[in-house]
Amino acid sequence: MSSIVVLGSANMDLVVRQPRLPEPGETMFGSSFATVPGGKGLNQAIAAARVGGDVAFLGAVGGDAFGRELRETLTAAGVDTTGIALVERPTGTAHISVLDGGENAIVVVPDANGVELPLDDVQRDAIRAARSLVVQFERPLPLVAEALAFARSVGVTTVVTPAPVLPLPDGFLDHVDVLVPNAGEARELAGVSDEADAARALSLRVGTVVMTRGARGALVARGGEIVAEVQPHPVTPVDTTGAGDTFTGVLVARLAAGDAEPDALRAASVAAAIATTRPGASPSMPTWPEVEPHLR
């Protein structure tokens, strides 16, 4: 059994590089197109595995070429794929516009990821044996809530990336040990305009908040107070797709490896920065030998 279980989405990213977003009704030329394995769940699983994490992935794909490629990509990264369900919907896709400045805009079509599936015995056994469960909101929220509640009931640490932000049922955050939103997600989830206030407010409802802020690093909040600031690792970004997922995956993997929290946070910050210097999501994620020299 794996020490880290990621329950989440697996998409094929359809990536177009372009100078800017088009205006309504406008047609414009892009400079390149690529298909890249992605999805927040798959990204986090691969990011964790590349820095030494022992990872299992619980997801859903269709019986199409995209689904086969996603399974092969996870397996090649060393991720256990026995918990992936084969469903009768097409594999999910994400349609990504990468702008010349490195920022991105994304439209996700869930398809297989959106199929309502309860946890089965294989998935429960995987979670029960793990140290950490990592989830996002690209799978049906009832499934995510069920997994979190089960993980907490068997003493497994729960890590949540609240993306995309959704209305949450009462008590949902009670099952969250570590919440890893970006600044926009934190503000929306907390219902306040200031990002530090959002982190403080959310930390009164969960164990720890680690709020990522892109090139400005990250803030850590507990018990209504900001307790740490993670400095950014300076780079010149090429494509920010998957940077947040890299941060989360590496953070969880390094904590599972026994790193102290400040060291794990620093490693996550460096890894996420390195990922922005390369195109694509999962292909951009660094290995531990690429991250570790920057930590000395």
* Count of C-beta atoms within a 10 Å radius of residue 267: 25
**Cα Rg for the chain, rounded, in angstroms?**
18
Residue 196 marked as a ligand binder: no
Residue 86 marked as a ligand binder: no
Residue 41 marked as a ligand binder: yes
Residue 42 marked as a ligand binder: yes
Residue 126 marked as a ligand binder: no
170 noted as active-site residue: no
The CA-based angle 32-37-40, given to 5 degrees, is 115
Residue 91 marked as a ligand binder: no
Residue 249 marked as a ligand binder: no
SS3 string of 155-216? CCEEEECCCCCCCCCCCHHHHCCEECCEHHHHHHHHCCCCHHHHHHHHHCCCCEEEEECHHH
Residue 53 marked as a ligand binder: no
Residue 81 marked as a ligand binder: no
List 121, 245, 259, 263, catalytic entry: 245
Residue 217 marked as a ligand binder: yes
Return d(Cα 139, Cα 216) in angstroms, integer. 29
Return d(Cα 29, Cα 34) in angstroms, integer. 15
Query: Could you tell me if 103 and 80 are in contact, meaning their C-beta atoms sit under 8 angstroms apart?
Result: no
Query: Could you tell me if 178 and 159 are in contact, meaning their C-beta atoms sit under 8 angstroms apart?
Result: yes
Which residues are documented as binding site for K(+)?
239, 241, 275, 278, 280, 284
Which residues are documented as binding site?
11-13, 39-43, 138, 182, 212-217, 239, 241, 244-245, 275, 278, 280, 284
Which residues are documented as binding site for ATP?
182, 212-217, 244-245
Catalytic residue numbers, as ranges: 245
Which residues are documented as binding site for substrate?
11-13, 39-43, 138, 245
